[in-house]
A and B are shown apart, each in its own frame.
Chain A
Amino acid sequence: MYDRKTEDCRVLQSIDVEDQGMGQATSQGSALRRRELLTGTACLLLGMSRAGATQILDRLPWEPNAGAPPTAARPGPWQFFTGAEARAMEAVADRIIPPDPDTPGGKDSGCAVFIDRQLAGPYGKQDGLYVRPPFQPGAKNQGAQSKDGPAEQYRSWLGALDHAVSLKFGGKVFADLPDADKDDILKGLESGSLTLVGADGKAFMEQAVKDVQMGFFADPIYGGNRDMVAWKMIGYPGARYNYLDWVDRPNERFPLLPVSIAGRAEWTPRTR
C-alpha cells in the first residue's frame, strides 16, 4: 500500500559522490571532498551505497517529494471479490450497519468496497507479518497463528456462508434472504449455534464486524465512509489539524462539516 522506494543504506553525512561519477553535483562538493579525503573514507563509503548515497552537509537530508502520500482506492470493478462474494459481503455489511433515514448502511457507504480493496492489497496477503513455519495452534492470547491471510480466509468464509444458506433455504444465497433471516444467520454465526462447513463462522463474524465498521469510519479515500457519511453521523470533523480555537469551549458543538484527506465530500471520487 505504501511501498517506500527501497534504498540501500544511506550515509547521512558528507560523502562526495560527485567526483566518482555516481551522484548529482552538490554545491558543497569541494568541502566534502576535503573532509573525506582527510579521513580517507570516501571510497569505502561509496562502495556501500548502490542506490546512490544521500549527501548531507550542514543540513537535513531533504528530498523533494520524498513522503509517500496515500493511494486512494480507485473506482471500478471488484478487485478481490467475485461477483457472488461481493453480493454476500454487501449484504452482510448492510446488516452489520443497516441503513436508516439519516445515514446509509454498510452497502451504500462502501464498506464492502473498502474490504475488497484491503483484501486485494498488502493487508489481504499478510505483507510484512511474520509467516515463517511451524504453524502451531496456540492460546488465543498468543495471537493469530494462521498460514492463511485475510484474503484466503474471506474467500472460504463467504463461500461457506452461501453454501450453508443454500442448504437451509432451498438454493437461495445469503443476499436473497429477508433481513430477519439474514440477522438470524449472523446471530447464529456469532454465537456459534450455526456452524459452517470447512470455515470458522464465529471468526468470520468477529472479523466481518471489525472490518465493516472499520470501513465505515476510515477515511473515505479507502472506499468506505462514502461522502463521509459516518463522520457526519457522529460529528467527527475528520482530517483537520488545528483546534487551537476549540480548546476552551465547554459543551459547544463544533460547527464545521468533516473533511477527508482528499478534501471535502464533493471532491471525493466515487469508488464504485
Chain B
Amino acid sequence: MTKRLPKKDVVIIGLGWTGSIMAHELTDEGLDVVAIERGPWRDAPTDFPPTYMQDELRYRVRHELFLRPDQLTFSFRNKIGQTALPIRSWGAFMPPNGVGGGGVHWNAETWRFLPSDFVLKTHLTQRYGASFLPEDMTIQDWGVTYDELETHYDAFEYLCGTSGTAGNLKGQIQEGGNPFEGPRSRPYPTPAQKQPWGYQLFAKAARELGYKPFPQPSGNLSQAYTNTLGLQMGPCTYCGHCEWFGCANYSKASPQTTLLPALVRKSNFTARDNSEVVRINTDRSGKHATGVTFVDTSGEEWEQPADLVILSAYSLFNVQLLLHSGIGQPYDPEKNTGVIGRNFTHQTISSVNGFFDHTKYNFNPFVASGSIGMCVDEFNGDNFDHGPHGFVGGGYVGHVQTGARPIESTLVPPGTPKWGAAWKKAVKENYLSTVKPGTGVHGSFYAYRDVYLDLDPTYKDRFDRPLMRMTIDLHDNEVKQNKFLTDKFAEIIKAMGAKAVAPSYRTAPYDMTTYQTTHLNGGAIMGTDPTTSAVNKYLQHWDVSNLFVLGASAFPQNAGYNPTGTVAALAFWAASAIRNRYLKNTGPLIHV
C-alpha cells in the first residue's frame, strides 16, 4: 500500500547538478522543497578519501559510483526493425547514481555553447540554404538565445569558480582565450589551470599551424576560491584521478563543494536519499501534476504530493519517467508525430594517440586534472565554412589527457602485438612518452528522424515496467564530420613531434560497448512549437504547466561541447522564470 506524505510546495526528482541548483533557487524564494534521490548520500571526506580514491579498478573499471544496470538499464539497437537488446553492463555512457549526480565524477570541463548553436536551424539555412541539410535531419532552434542565457552561464561559472582564460569580453577578443566564444560579461572567476609540458607542446604546434589554442575551461580549480554562496574550495593538485572518481580535495566543482553544504542548512530544504521515483502523478485532467510516487530501498512505496514538480533526473531518466508517467505524446518516427523521445542525440568522440621517442620525451602523463588541456575551436559549430566539406557540425579538438591511470593508459604503438615479450617491452618504453588525449576530438551529434527513445516491447525493469529503448546510429553527416576533425587533430599531434600517430575514427554503426561520453541529449526537447517540442523555452512542460524538465533532455540537438555549462545555465534560467513569473501567476508561461 502506498503511504502518503504531507504535501510540499516543490518536489525535485534527482539531486544532481540541476536538482541542486533548482533546490537552491526555490528555497531562496521561501518555498518548502523536498529532493528525492535514487542513490546514496555522498560527500568528499567520507566517500572520496585521498587514502583510497586512486583505485582505478574499483572506480573506473568496476564503476563503483554509478548506477547498477540491474537497478535500471535500457535496450539498444541501431535501426528501426532491428531487435533491441538490453544493455547488460555499461559501455558507451555511464549513468550516475547518488547525491551530486554526474557532478560527483565528471571531469568538470565547463563550456558554453556558441551563440549560433541556439539558432542552429535558422543559422545554417541562412548561410548554406535548406537543401544543404540532409533530408532526415531534424535539427531545431532552441527557443532561447545565448544572450538570454549569458547571465546564467556566468552564475554557474561563479558558483563553480571555473578556471579559464576569457576569449571574448563584452565583444573584445582577448589574447590567449577562445576567440570564437560568445561575448561574456566578466572574466572567469579564477585563472586557467597550469599546463604541463605535453599540453604546452600541443599548444605550440597548434599555434605554428595557424590556430589559436587556449586552455580548456575547468571546474578543477587553479587556486583557492570562495564561491558565490560563501563555500570554500581548494586548488586542484593534478592528482590525475578525476573523472569516474570523486575529488578528495574540495577542488572539483560539484554539488558537494558548491551547493549542498549551503542547502542542507536551510530549514525549508529536505533531501531523501536511496529513494527512486517511479512515476509523476497527474490529476484526472492529465494537465496538472499532483506529485510523485517513489520506492525506498526496503521496497516500500510512498507518495509525495507537491504543487510544483521539478524533473531533474538526468536526460535519459527524465524521458523514461515521462514515458512511464504517460505525460506528453510519445514520439512515433513512422508517422513523425509526438514529442517524448524525439531528437535523441549523443556525441561523436574520437581520438588520436601520439607515440614519441622515449629517449627524448617524458611527459609525466599522470600529472593531470579532469579538465586539463589545450584546445582549438576553429572547427567547432559553424566557425568554419562547411560549404566545401559537405557536412554540418563540428567540435573542439584538444590535448585533454586527464591522467595516465595504468590499466587504461598503457598504450603501445600501432603494429605491436597485443601480448607477449614485445608487448611488454613496448609498454615499458612508451608509457611516459605517449600522448593519449581521451576525448581529444569532441564533436557534435545532430538530430535525425530515426534516432529516438521509446519503450521496449520485450525487456522489463525490476518494477516490471518496460525498459526504455534507444534506437541510435551514426549518420553520414556525423561520420564525415568526425573524419574531418580527427584528421585535423592528427596533424597537430604529428606536428608536436610524435614519431607515430594512431587515429581511431568514430564510424557507423554506433557501438554501445565503447565509452564515448555521458553526454546524452534530447528526448524531451525545448522549442517554440508544442508539436515538435516537449517543453517551452523556460523548460516548462507544454501540457503540464506545473512540471519543469531540466537537463540535457531539453537540447534539440547536441553541439560540439560538453553539456553541463549549458545544462546548468538552463537550470538557472528556468529557476528565474519560476521565481519571477510562474509563482506570480501559475499556469503556462507561453501560450500558443
Which residues of A pack against B, CB within 8 Å? 1-2, 4, 6-14, 35, 39-41, 44-45, 47-48, 50-51, 54, 56, 58-63, 66-67, 69-70, 95-98, 100, 103, 123, 126, 128-132, 134, 136, 138-145, 183, 186, 190, 209, 212-214, 217-219, 222, 230-231, 233-244, 246-254, 261
Closest B residue by C-beta to A225: B406
Which chain A residues border B383 with CB–CB below 8 Å? none
Q: Say whether, besides A58-B265, A141-B510, A141-B511, A247 and B3 are in contact (CB < 8 Å).
A: no
Assess the A217–B239 pair: CB atoms within 8 A: no
Assess the B410–A2 pair: CB atoms within 8 A: no
Closest B residue by C-beta to A238: B54
Complex CA distance for A145 and B69, rounded to whole angstroms: 13
Binding site secondary structure of chain A = loop
Select B41's contact among A12, A95, A252, beta carbons within 8 Å.
Answer: A12
Assess the A123–B367 pair: CB atoms within 8 A: no
Q: Say whether, besides A9-B273, A130-B87, A243-B366, A234 and B428 are in contact (CB < 8 Å).
A: yes
Query: How distant is B105 from chain A, measured CB to nearest CB, in Å?
Result: 15
Assess the A144–B264 pair: CB atoms within 8 A: no
**B407 CB–A CB distance under 8 Å:** yes
Assess the A209–B418 pair: CB atoms within 8 A: yes
Q: List 19 A-B contacts (CB under 8 A).
A: A7-B297, A10-B41, A12-B273, A14-B267, A14-B270, A48-B296, A96-B420, A98-B424, A130-B70, A130-B73, A144-B89, A145-B85, A186-B419, A190-B418, A214-B407, A217-B407, A236-B406, A241-B50, A241-B54
Which chain A residues border B91 with CB–CB below 8 Å? 143
Q: Mark B23-47, 1 if CB is under 8 A from A, else 0.
A: 0000000000000000011010111
**B548 CB–A CB distance under 8 Å:** no
Assess the B511–A261 pair: CB atoms within 8 A: no
Assess the A250–B404 pair: CB atoms within 8 A: no
| A-B CB pair tally, cutoff 8 Å | 254
Complex CA distance for A67 and B48, rounded to whole angstroms: 8
**B49 CB–A CB distance under 8 Å:** yes
Complex CA distance for A251 and B47, rounded to whole angstroms: 35
Assess the A218–B85 pair: CB atoms within 8 A: no
For the complex, count residues of B whose C-beta is within 8 A of A: 94
Which chain A residues border B45 with CB–CB below 8 Å? 62
Assess the A8–B296 pair: CB atoms within 8 A: yes
Which chain B residues border A9 with CB–CB below 8 Å? 272-275, 296-298
Q: Say whether, besides A141-B78, A218-B407, A251 and B70 are in contact (CB < 8 Å).
A: no
Which residues of B pack against A, CB within 8 Å? 3, 5-6, 40-41, 43, 45-47, 49-58, 61-62, 64, 68-71, 73, 76-78, 83, 85-89, 91, 194-197, 200, 235, 237-241, 248-249, 260-261, 264-265, 267, 269-275, 296-298, 300, 302, 361-362, 364, 366-367, 404, 406-407, 410, 418-421, 424-425, 427-428, 431-432, 458-460, 509-513
Complex CA distance for A251 and B367, rounded to whole angstroms: 12
Assess the B6–A70 pair: CB atoms within 8 A: no
Query: How distant is A216 from chain B, measured CB to nearest CB, in Å?
Result: 9
Assess the A128–B509 pair: CB atoms within 8 A: no
Q: Say whether, besides A96-B419, A241-B239, A244-B238, A12 and B264 are in contact (CB < 8 Å).
A: yes
Closest B residue by C-beta to A44: B5
Assess the B364–A254 pair: CB atoms within 8 A: yes
Which chain B residues border A241 with CB–CB below 8 Å? 50, 53-54, 237, 239, 241, 248-249
Complex CA distance for A246 and B49, rounded to whole angstroms: 22
Select A143's contact among B87, B237, B427, beta carbons within 8 Å.
Answer: B87
Which chain A residues border B300 with CB–CB below 8 Å? 8, 48
Which chain A residues border B510 with CB–CB below 8 Å? 141
Complex CA distance for A239 and B237, rounded to whole angstroms: 13
> What 14 new A-B contacts, CB under 8 Å, besides A13-B271, A134-B458, A234-B406?
A8-B298, A11-B271, A12-B264, A14-B270, A50-B298, A128-B69, A129-B69, A130-B88, A136-B83, A138-B83, A217-B407, A241-B249, A249-B197, A249-B364
Complex CA distance for A50 and B296, rounded to whole angstroms: 11
Assess the B264–A56 pair: CB atoms within 8 A: yes
Query: How distant is A227 from chain B, measured CB to nearest CB, in Å?
Result: 15
Complex CA distance for A140 and B3, rounded to whole angstroms: 45
Q: Say whether, besides A45-B5, A243-B367, A230 and B89 are in contact (CB < 8 Å).
A: no
Complex CA distance for A8 and B274, rounded to whole angstroms: 7
Select B420's contact among A70, A95, A134, A235, beta carbons within 8 Å.
Answer: A95
